[in-house]
Amino acid sequence: MYLNLIQLAESFGVSERTVEDWIREEDLPHIADRGRLLFDRAQVTTWAAAHGWTARTGFLASDHGPWTTGLALAPLLGAGGIWRDVPAAGVPELLHRIIRSLPGISSAVSALLGQRLRAPDGINWAPVGGGLALPHFSARVALGRAAGVIALVFLRDALPLAEPTPDGAPATRLFFFVPPSPRAHLDLLGRFSKALAQGPLRELVTRGAPDAEILAALAAADAAQGSATQLPKGRR
């Protein structure tokens, strides 16, 4: 199977220019066909393994990979942890710490994520109202089955945002998430939206309920969703 430039860039969660740089500088296998760049899936998978990409994800994954949809939220939060009384100024360093603890990724991929985190538009803060925001990488990432993570951050003071929140309420509760693949990105956003709109999760987070209650609410949301893929629990 051959992929085009856009598909390959989305699979790795990088820009098309980055893929072109890999062709010039890292000998990424490709075929030039009537002005288009095409990539053989098998050759790219071999190249990716040799360059520190630890799993086949996104368009490189099997068409019906078990981690593309139906991710369970509670194990992901168990991996990322619940962080309290964090100053807004300390959020970037905390997110960097969470990224460094991601299971199953190489140091090269961790360094790339750190670069994105520090980029001016590297994070989409995604305020959703009610004091909540769902920050995530602006560019899709493809890390592998065991690398997804969610972290809940309770802020000591309001997060400064370039744009106003939908209801004017300051953002003081952050659900930072890193999906294991581009396909899982929208899945997690949808799961979050549903969990916050139905059940007790929003109220528990708003009042700063104990960790066990929040995790139990997510587990209940997972159970309501039906059978979901459980990702291995990482280290906090």
Q: What percent of the chain has pLDDT over 90?
A: 31
Whole-number pLDDT of residue 63: 39
Residue 158 is classified by DSSP as P
Whole-number pLDDT of residue 204: 96
- At 57-108, the pLDDT tens digits run 444 544 344 333 457 889 999 989 999 999 999 999 999 999 888 877 777 7
Helix ranges (H only) for 68-210 are 73-80, 91-100, 107-118, 182-197, 201-206
Cα dihedral value 89, 94, 95, 101, nearest 10: 170
Q: Decide: 212 and 136 in contact? Cβ < 8 Å.
A: no
Say which residue, 217 or 230, is predicted with more confidence. Answer: 217
Closest among 214, 128, 231, 117 to 180, alpha carbons compared: 231
Which of the four pLDDT bands, split at 50, 70 and 90, describes residue 19?
A: confident
The arithmetic mean of pLDDT across residues 164-187, rounded, is 85
Q: Angle at which helices 211-225 and 182-197 pack, to 10 degrees?
A: 110
* pTM, two decimal places: 0.67
The arithmetic mean of pLDDT across residues 125-143, rounded, is 84
- Whether 160 shows a pLDDT value over 90: the answer reads yes
Domains of the chain: 2-51 (1.10.10), 73-225 (3.40.930.10)
Amino acid occupying residue 157: D
Measure Cα distances from 6 to 11, 41, 147 in Å: 9, 14, 23
